[in-house]
Structure 1
Amino acid sequence: MPVPLYQAKADFFRMLGHPVRIRVLELLQDGPKAVRELLAEIEVEASNLSAQLAVLRRSGIVTATREGSTVVYALAGADVADLLRAARRILTELLVGQNQLLAQLQAD
């Protein structure tokens, strides 16, 4: 029996639901990066980064290529960057609304 679309979407968003994974995707928006570059930017244990990269790779949202002894990761498609930009816009709108409410509360 096929998985309903809403379940597939929920699984997709659950896969994104880790700060290290989101940070990796943000960094890869600028282009492919070697694991050592990601480690320097994210500052987590190598084993933690490796586990998160494996989740992203299994989901198909990133690709990994080996260049000698170096593994380089890249976004699998431009839609991922679009999704991150959309999330940023949504969060910005939510925060603006919260700031307006806070200003009203403080004025009373």
Structure 2
Amino acid sequence: MDLEMQKFKADFFKALAHPLRIRILELLGDGDKSVNEIQSLAGSEGSAVSQQLMILRTKNIVTGTKDGNRVIYSLRDPLIIELLAVARQIFNNHLVDAITLLDKFSEDSDKAENL
């Protein structure tokens, strides 16, 4: 069972491993949207958006519902937005660590020059 869960998690994170897919999920976090709306808001061409949406649908991360001749996309599970928020916090923590390290390096460098 643990191996199955680890495989699920690995596949899930692979599905998230593209900047446009992340952007699409962030946009859908604000509400359901059509391909054209996503394309416009993401500033990307329609074929790229459609391709990434297909991957997200295949992995059951988003769902699509027909509305006339349009398909309206939504998040399958709104918890994905919390996951992305946690990822942003982790990224920010890494930035803080890197800035702190750079500041320390700069201070050490200044001290060495003054000797």
Work out whether the TM-score is over 0.5.
Answer: yes
Could you say which residue in structure 2 is the equivalent of 1:102? 102
Could you say which residue in structure 2 is the equivalent of 1:78? 78
Question: What RMSD over aligned residues (CA atoms) do the two structures have, in Å?
Answer: 1.4
Could you say which residue in structure 2 is the equivalent of 1:67? 67
Could you say which residue in structure 2 is the equivalent of 1:37? 37
> How far apart are 1:7 and its partner, in Å?
2.1
Contiguous gaps of at least 5 residues in structure 2: 109-115
> How far apart are 1:92 and its partner, in Å?
0.8
Aligned residue pairs total 107
Could you say which residue in structure 1 is the equivalent of 2:54? 54
Name the SS of the counterpart of 2:64 in structure 1.
strand
Bigger Cα Rg: 2
Distance of 1:66 and 1:4 partners within structure 2: 33
Amino acid of the structure 2 residue aligned with 1:77: D
